[in-house]
Amino acid sequence: MDQEFFYRLLSCQGVSGRETNIQKTAAAYMEGFADEVRREVNGNVTGILNPDSSFKILLAGHIDEIGLMVTDHTEQGFLRAARVGGITPRMYLGQKVRIDTGKDLVYGAVASSGELQKKEELSDTDLVIDIGAGNREAARRHVPVGSGVVFDTDWRPLLGECITSRALDDRSGAFIVMEALRRAKEKKCTNGVYAVTTVGEETGFSGGAWAGAGIRPNMAVAVDVTFASDGPGGDDGVRGRVALGGGPGICVGIMGHPVMNRILEQAAGRLDIRTQPVITPGRTFTDTDAIHISGHGVPAALVNLPLRYMHTPAEVCSLKDVRDCIELISEFVCMVDGQTDLRPC
């Protein structure tokens, strides 16, 4: 896998609704190997292998991330911000942030005080960003409302083939589907494979819905992170036992198509890749939910990357699991075809 490109993606910024710049990076990368690259009007980017094939497989990984959005400028030149996606306001107090204005990056610090730290419940109104502007006019000149805000942190290597970074949810999934497309081409796959880096997942799965409705695939595999149970605070046993380095997770539940899951397990067996069941009795809260009910309905599976400390500036994953997800999915898309019977009974 192209590890350097993965790190490049993690260094990019793309809060939900503000994914334009990172999608340019994704499109440019897939142009190096895809037969066709489409930039959709909703912001999705789709790399296609064998676009003339009548049998179409959708691979979806969302490229957007949680964060903040600038909503106002105070008279003193501070910025007000609102949450985008499932963030915890307290996590931002006293943290450095970077703001994508659409033209350049502006850096800031989220205000903190003893009084704020003691508050039991924090809301968006408690989030104030100091960019060093002395008044409202200066703040407006440098940062327009609607600008996306993320933690000013970058990826770092850890021991044991692990890395830490913000936005592994789900920049890792976007990377996996792009690399799976590249590997499928190397394996001379003849199916139509559509790797989509979707937008807006953290705020309602809009990119997944657009992809399913627009492509009309015969089947779909979404890739997203899942909670690892082997670290501090892990929900051991709630979704099954999921460990970093233990291999790709395969969703078991109403959104994990049983026949597709069996084929994924067969692919894993061919490659000697360990997999882990991720027990999800109801909704997955991923693009899978939207793709599954798009159009006339799409048989869908969900491949999960185990992740620690989700929705924090220091998420942790295993590079081995990332590689195994890529190989598993690229093998899967080569094993199925128009004759594959997906009827469970």
Domain boundaries, the chain: 1-63+165-333, 66-149
The alpha-carbon radius of gyration of the chain (Å, integer) is 20
Mean pLDDT of 181-193: 98
Verify cis geometry, omega within 30 degrees of 0, for the bond prior to 52: no
CB 1 within 8 A of CB 326: yes
Of the chain, the percentage scoring pLDDT greater than 90 comes to 85
Listed range (96-105, 125-134, 138-147, 232-241) with the worst mean pLDDT: 232-241
Note the pLDDT tens digit of each residue in 258-305.
999 999 999 999 999 999 999 998 899 999 999 999 988 999 999 999
The full DSSP string for 92-151 is GTT-EEEEE-SSSEEEEEE---HHHHH-SS--GGG-EEE-S-SSHHHHHHH--TT-EEEE
Name the β-bridge partners of 279: 252
Asked whether residue 183 carries a pLDDT value surpassing 90, the answer given is yes
Q: Which amino acid appears at position 23 of this protein?
A: Q
Q: Which amino acid appears at position 283 of this protein?
A: R
Is the CATH number of domain 1-63+165-333 3.40.630.10?
yes
Taking the C-alpha atoms of residue 148 and residue 157, their distance in angstroms, rounded to an integer, is 26
pLDDT of residue 50: 98
Mean pLDDT of 147-167: 96
Q: Nearest 5°: phi and psi at 302?
A: -125, 120
Note the pLDDT tens digit of each residue in 7-19.
999 999 999 999 9
Residues making up the chain, counted from first to last? 345
Give catalytic residue positions: 201
224 is in an annotated binding site: yes
Is the CATH number of domain 66-149 3.20.20.120?
no
Torsion of the alpha carbons at 227, 233, 234 and 239, rounded to the nearest 10 = -80
Question: How many other CB atoms are there within 10 angstroms of residue 263's CB atom?
Answer: 18
Listed range (48-62, 158-172, 228-242, 321-335) with the worst mean pLDDT: 228-242
Note the pLDDT tens digit of each residue in 66-94.
999 999 999 999 999 999 998 888 889 99
Q: What is the mean pLDDT of the chain?
A: 94
Taking the C-alpha atoms of residue 132 and residue 257, their distance in angstroms, rounded to an integer, is 52
Asked whether residue 119 carries a pLDDT value surpassing 80, the answer given is no
